[in-house]
């Protein structure tokens, strides 16, 4: 149970970092309060976690030849696609404008979630 909670918090912090660093990634409505944006961020982090748990392994399996050919760099494209899928599933609450922003956001989310998992997951 704590592992799920740690992953949810890591995804939320990583998504918040991507929203903060990339101008074309937005969360929440324009006039929404900070508490409302925090709840939206947790919901989007949960959606992102489910997408990464269910869809990403299947996509990686089908993209295995490209991953081998590019020495793993195609993972950036897969991460961007997972972020765009999260955008589509979350509706108007989370927006990613363009594939370039999704690639940059996916890179930021990967680095930040790795760092947060490293800090929080102390077994």
pTM for this one? 0.89
70 is in which domain, residue-wise? 1-121
Please state, in angstroms and rounded to a whole number, the distance separating the CA atoms of residues 83 and 93: 13
Query: How many independent structural domains does the chain possess?
Result: 1
pLDDT digits (tens, 9 = 90+) for 2-48: 678 888 888 999 999 999 999 999 998 777 788 888 999 999 999 99
Q: State the sign of the Cα–Cα–Cα–Cα dihedral 28, 78, 110, 61.
A: positive
């Amino acid at each position: 149970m704590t592992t799920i909670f740690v992953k949810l918090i890591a995804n939320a912090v990583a998504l918040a970092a991507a929203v903060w660093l990339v101008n074309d990634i937005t969360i929440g409505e324009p006039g929404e309060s900070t508490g409302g944006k925090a709840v939206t961020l947790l919901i989007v982090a949960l959606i992102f976690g489910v997408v990464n748990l269910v869809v990403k392994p299947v996509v990686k399996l089908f993209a295995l030849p490209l991953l081998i050919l590019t020495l793993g760099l195609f993972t950036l494209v897969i991460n961007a696609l997972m972020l765009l899928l999260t955008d589509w599933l979350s509706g108007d609450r989370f927006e990613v404008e363009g594939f370039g922003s999704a690639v940059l956001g996916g890179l930021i989310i990967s680095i930040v979630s790795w760092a947060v998992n490293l800090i929080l997951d102390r077994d």
